[in-house]
């Protein structure tokens, strides 16, 4: 780590942080709660390298795996490492993209993610097979279960594996700072960690669809 | 590699290796109370005798997250790093890996590591790496390769 996180931010670092918070707010629609920790841990230059590489990684993954799929892969990379902020936020983004483009909801809602957060790896893969058994989720299931296999020590073989390995190493780096908020944060309170967070109409419509789904599930019991 | 139980606590298990490198293994079996926490820290101090020691901390037997775990692991980590040792945390559950990550991040210990199973822990014992810079190097290398390949296809 390039600076000691326990040291107070210096004047120049505080100034740079305010600029980054402003840019983040304009780009994402909210101020990420992890910027300050990243500055404290990595310093200004380290932050620039960290956030720049993260942005490039998200772009490469979206191009290589698909926009929605890349968000689920990133989300599960973060969740596996124990960061609820990354897990809930990126999976929320993946869910929004699928809802926007296919008018569909995945089984990966916040309650299910909370369950997976406490599930041992050996049982998680079987649970994912149960959850994502519908044919339309086959691609997603394949990517996420392969992510678990690579985490467990499997050797990368396919072209997809190269993208999954990039997601895993990048989120090893990212969660080093996001974990300060990622352990206790309620999953429901995490916004989608992409500019989709600015699309209030989509967010409202998605929340209503989830509420209708929940009501239908309750009435069906 | 790891054997010779020194003491079988009801809530944790404490072992030492039968051969170098110096490794102590502590498995938490359930939530610890104040007495068990103090006993474990004392047992570790007695085992390491102030020498830099690798400590393998097994969390996989814990089936749920107890908020007491965080401050205890912080104290355990401080004791290990204070003696110049390094720690590897083993957990098969995401939330407990998150607890361990929070602890090593707050402790600013760049040598500590979190792995999902014992095989990965034993593999890690054979190498020396710096966690954050290793993640950075792997990311930048993979990113450049994939960006290059995508650029060539266009």
- Residue B6 belongs to domain spanning: 2-117
| CA–CA separation, B66 and B71 (whole Å) | 10
The gap between the terminal CA atoms of chain B, to the nearest Å, is 52
Q: What average pLDDT does chain A have?
A: 95
Identify whether B123 is part of a domain: no
Model confidence over A207-219: pLDDT tens digits?
999 999 988 888 8
Identify whether B56 is part of a domain: yes
Residue A2 pLDDT exceeds 70: no
Residue A136 pLDDT exceeds 90: yes
Identify whether B139 is part of a domain: no
CB contact (8 A) between residue B98 and residue A41: no
CB contact (8 A) between residue A56 and residue B143: yes
Residue B152 pLDDT exceeds 60: yes
CB contact (8 A) between residue B101 and residue A82: yes
Identify whether B133 is part of a domain: no
Question: What average pLDDT does range A188-203 have in this prediction?
Answer: 97
Residue B3 pLDDT exceeds 50: no
Banded pLDDT at B18 (limits 50, 70, 90): low
Identify whether B11 is part of a domain: yes
Which residue of B108, B116, B136 is in closest CB contact with A173?
Answer: B136
pLDDT number for residue A185: 94
Model confidence over A48-81: pLDDT tens digits?
999 999 999 999 999 999 999 999 999 999 999 9
Q: Is the peptide bond before A120 cis (omega within 30 degrees of 0)?
A: no
pTM: 0.93
Nearest to A85 by CA among A195, A194, A190, A192: A190
pLDDT number for residue B134: 93
Identify whether B130 is part of a domain: no
- How large is the C-alpha radius of gyration of chain A? 18
pLDDT number for residue B20: 58
Residue B1 pLDDT exceeds 50: no
Model confidence over B81-125: pLDDT tens digits?
999 999 999 999 999 999 999 999 999 999 999 999 988 898 888
Q: Which residues, numbered 139 to 168 in chain A, qualify as contacts with chain B under a Cβ-Cβ cut-off of 8 Å?
A: 151-153, 162-163, 165-166
Question: What average pLDDT does range B11-29 have in this prediction?
Answer: 81
CATH of the domain at B113: 3.30.750.24
| CA–CA separation, B76 and B85 (whole Å) | 11
CB contact A182 to B (< 8 Å): yes
Nearest to A116 by CA among A146, A148, A151, A142: A148
Total domain count, chain B: 1
Residue A221 pLDDT exceeds 90: no
CB contact A181 to B (< 8 Å): no
CB contact (8 A) between residue A169 and residue B138: yes
- Find the DSSP H helices in A7-158: 11-28, 35-65, 67-81, 84-102, 110-117, 121-131, 138-151
pLDDT number for residue B58: 96
Which residue of B99, B110, B132 is in closest CB contact with A82?
Answer: B99
Q: How far is CA B94 from the centre of its chain?
A: 14
Residue B128 pLDDT exceeds 90: no
Identify whether B147 is part of a domain: no
The residue with greater pLDDT, B46 or A217, is B46
CB contact A189 to B (< 8 Å): no
pLDDT number for residue B9: 56
pLDDT number for residue B6: 45
| CA–CA separation, A127 and A203 (whole Å) | 27
pLDDT number for residue B139: 98
The residue with greater pLDDT, A67 or B150, is A67
Residue A190 pLDDT exceeds 50: yes
Identify whether B154 is part of a domain: no
């Amino acid at each position: 780590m390039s600076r000691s996180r326990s040291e107070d931010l210096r004047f120049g670092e505080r100034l740079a942080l305010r600029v980054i918070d402003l840019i983040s707010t304009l780009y994402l629609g909210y101020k990420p709660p992890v910027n300050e920790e990243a500055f404290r841990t990595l310093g200004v230059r380290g932050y620039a390298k960290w956030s720049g590489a993260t942005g490039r990684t998200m772009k490469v993954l979206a191009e290589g795996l698909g926009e929605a799929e890349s968000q689920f892969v990133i989300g599960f990379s973060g969740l596996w490492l124990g960061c609820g902020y990354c897990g809930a936020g990126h999976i929320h983004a993946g869910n929004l993209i699928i809802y926007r483009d296919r008018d569909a909801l995945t089984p990966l809602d916040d309650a299910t993610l909370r369950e997976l957060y406490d599930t041992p790896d050996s049982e998680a893969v079987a649970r994912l097979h149960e959850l994502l058994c519908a044919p339309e989720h086959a691609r997603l299931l394949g990517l996420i279960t392969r992510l678990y296999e690579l985490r467990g020590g499997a050797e990368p073989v396919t072209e997809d594996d190269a993208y999954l390995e990039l997601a895993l190493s990048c989120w090893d780096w990212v969660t080093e700072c996001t974990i300060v908020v990622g352990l206790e944060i309620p999953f429901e309170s995490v916004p989608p960690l992409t500019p989709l967070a600015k699309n209030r109409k989509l967010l409202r419509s998605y929340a209503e669809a989830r509420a209708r789904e929940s009501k239908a599930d309750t009435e069906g019991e | 590699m790891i054997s010779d139980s020194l003491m079988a606590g009801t809530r944790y298990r404490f072992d030492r290796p039968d051969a170098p490198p110096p490794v102590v293994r502590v498995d938490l079996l359930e939530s610890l109370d104040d007495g068990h926490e103090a006993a474990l820290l004392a047992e570790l101090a007695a085992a390491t005798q102030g020498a830099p020691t690798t400590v393998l901390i097994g969390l996989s037997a814990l089936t749920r997250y107890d908020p007491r775990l965080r401050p205890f692991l912080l104290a355990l980590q401080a004791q290990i790093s204070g003696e110049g040792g390094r720690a590897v945390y083993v957990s098969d559950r995401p939330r407990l890996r998150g607890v361990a990550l929070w602890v090593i991040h707050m402790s600013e210990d760049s040598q500590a590591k979190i792995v999902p199973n014992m095989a990965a822990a034993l593999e890690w014992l054979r190498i020396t790496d710096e966690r954050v810079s290793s993640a950075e190097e792997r990311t930048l290398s993979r990113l450049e390769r994939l960006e290059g390949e995508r650029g060539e296809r266009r």
